[in-house]
Amino acid sequence: MSLSHVWLAGIVAFGTQWPVIDLPYPDVPEGGGVVPAAPCPEKAVEAAVRRHVARIDPAADITQVRIDGSRATALLTSPSRIEWVHLERSGNDWKVVQTFAHK
């Protein structure tokens, strides 16, 4: 066996322990690097409408949530009434600015 075969056998034998390139791991922020997801805008609008309707008719269903930039609308339906709710974004929260009730 020639010297080149011995050298090649040594490279192959120890090759799995030698990294091809040693890249450092990125710094992981505290908390494991998990960034909480931003709440879904539709869910935030529904939560604002629920806060508004809780004192009027807590059994109302929220349907047809539409978001257009900083404005949103939602339809509330219950056996006794139908109501369109208009909301506007204020910072990170949604606020009810106007309602139209149909009885």
Mean pLDDT, consecutive 10-residue stretches, the chain (103 aa), reads 80 68 67 66 88 81 90 89 90 87 74
DSSP H helices, the chain, are 3-14, 41-53
pLDDT at 79: 85
- Sorted by where each starts, the structural domains of the chain and their CATH numbers stand as 41-102 (3.10.450.630)
What are the strands, taking DSSP E only, across the chain? 61-68, 71-77, 82-90, 93-102
pLDDT at 12: 74
- Whether pTM > 0.75 for this model: the answer is no
